[in-house]
Amino acid sequence: MPDRLITLSNISVWLEDGSLILDDVSWSVSAGEHWALLGANGAGKTTLLNVATARRYPSRGNVSILDRTYGQSNMLSLREEIAIVDPQQRMYEWFTVSETVLTGASGTVQPDPAGYTAAQDRQALETIDSLGLADMAGREIGTLSHGERQRVRLARALMSSPKIVVLDEPASGLDLPAREALIRALIDLATAHPALATVIVSHHLEELPPTTTHAALMRNGSLVAAGPVGETLTDQLMSSAFGIDVLVTRDQGRWHARGSASWGSAASESN
């Protein structure tokens, strides 16, 4: 059985005014699993991830991350083993791709004045190459497209050799070629690091790589379903999560979803 990396047991989160944000959620992620976390805005995805990545304590329930239990472990040390790829993460535009990726080894915004080891230099170049950025290594960040910058952020995150990588809406704002390049990079990532676990937060099934193994669907602070993608990304469960009639299809490992009611209306108007 794969190593269990994240275990959330009956966790709830509420605010000081009594507002319930997460309601009795249990969820687990194991090594080598690639999760999609899906749900409409306000479903509770961000709060769930904050708890699952050692950035917030639950109001109730038990959490174990990388065999360490909340309340008995150092939260800061836990965070160092979990990489979060944020599309809004700041990168200095005058640094090169190589310089920016290397900052992931030191966990700094700017390159470490002490420099980096030969092994770290090698790791950075190998990571850059694995994500299809080899020909951009010497280019400044300011010359890159939005999609290329996203892959740089991912490469930077991998420099700390994390066991879990969380990607928060990584395809947001990307055009079709950039989205497909990112998905290709995620496919290669899963192949190159078989023990790595990933969690992708998204609103759109079309943004998920075919390497996605599991999905968790949220609505109103609760899990509608969580499990293997073939059992979870169904018409019924997606409809329950998003509150509309949803039709789900899968073609060559890629997922697609559309609202059945709006599709039927549009089709009628076009005839």
Q: Which of 229, 158, 148 is nearest to 193 (CA)?
A: 158
Q: How much is the pTM? A: 0.86
Q: Which amino acid is at 69?
A: T
25 or 171, higher pLDDT? 25
Q: What is the pLDDT of residues 213-267, one digit of tens each?
A: 999 999 998 999 999 999 999 999 999 999 899 999 998 889 998 887 654 444 4
Torsion of CA 131, 133, 134, 140, to 10 degrees: -150
CB atoms within 10 A of CB 242: 19
Q: What is the pLDDT of residues 62-114, one digit of tens each?
A: 998 888 887 666 767 777 778 888 777 788 899 999 989 888 887 777 777 77
Say whether pLDDT at 191 is over 80: yes
The residues spanned by each domain of the chain are: 92-161
How far is residue 265's CA from residue 169's CA, in Å, rounded to a whole number?
A: 29
The reported pLDDT for the residue numbered 227 is: 95
Side-chain half-sphere of 141: how many Cα atoms within 13 Å? Answer: 19
**Cα-to-chain-centroid distance, residue 94:** 27
How far is residue 101's CA from residue 201's CA, in Å, rounded to a whole number?
A: 23
3-state SS assignment for residue 220: coil
> What long-range pairs does 26-29 form, CB within 8 A, spacing at least 24?
26/223, 27/52, 27/216, 27/223, 27/226, 28/4, 29/4, 29/5, 29/164, 29/197, 29/199, 29/214
The reported pLDDT for the residue numbered 73 is: 65
Query: How many DSSP H helices and E strands does the chain contain?
Result: 9, 12
The reported pLDDT for the residue numbered 219 is: 93
The reported pLDDT for the residue numbered 266 is: 43
For 36, residues 6+ apart whose C-beta sits below 8 A from its C-beta are: 199, 200, 202, 205, 208, 212, 214, 215, 216, 229
Q: What is the pLDDT of residues 113-143, one digit of tens each?
A: 777 889 988 888 988 888 888 888 889 999 9
How far is residue 62's CA from residue 39's CA, in Å, rounded to a whole number?
A: 23
170 or 245, higher pLDDT? 245
For 75, residues 6+ apart whose C-beta sits below 8 A from its C-beta are: 54, 55
3-state SS assignment for residue 80: coil
